[in-house]
Amino acid sequence: MSTSVRDLACQEIVELVTEYLEGTMDGGLRAAFEAHLAGCAACSRYLEQIEATIRIAGTVRADALSDELRAGLLEAFRGFAPGPGKEET
Ligand SMILES: [Zn+2]
């Protein structure tokens, strides 16, 4: 069991992306964040979208623009989340 890098849920990535981009995240959490990104295409894509939007907007104020992307990401997770609890209507 690793103590230096803990597992992050996709929900946490969404919550932490602003801190990550602003560089206010501490080293251990940053490592966990990047480890999650490396293994999660959805979160990688989410981060790319945020970064692209920030490039266009010229600001790192991701909190001001992430609500829509956040909603879209969570929507995507609902679509391909494996295992029990998958809703198919
Ligand atoms: Zn993820």
Distance (angstroms) between ligand 1 centre and the Cα of 38 equals 9
pLDDT digits (tens, 9 = 90+) for 35-75: 999 999 999 999 998 888 878 777 655 555 566 666 766 67
What is the torsion angle, in degrees rounded to the nearest 10, for the CA atoms of residue 61, residue 16, residue 56 and residue 35? 150
CA atoms within 13 A on the CB side of 56: 7
pLDDT of residue 3: 45
Rounded to whole angstroms, how far apart are CA atoms 60 and 41? 22
Distance (angstroms) between ligand 1 centre and the Cα of 44 equals 7
pTM above 0.75, yes or no: no
* Structure token pair of residue 24: 């206010």
Distance (angstroms) between ligand 1 centre and the Cα of 63 equals 18
Interaxial angle between packed helices 27-39 and 10-22, expressed in degrees from 0 to 180 and rounded to the nearest 10:
130
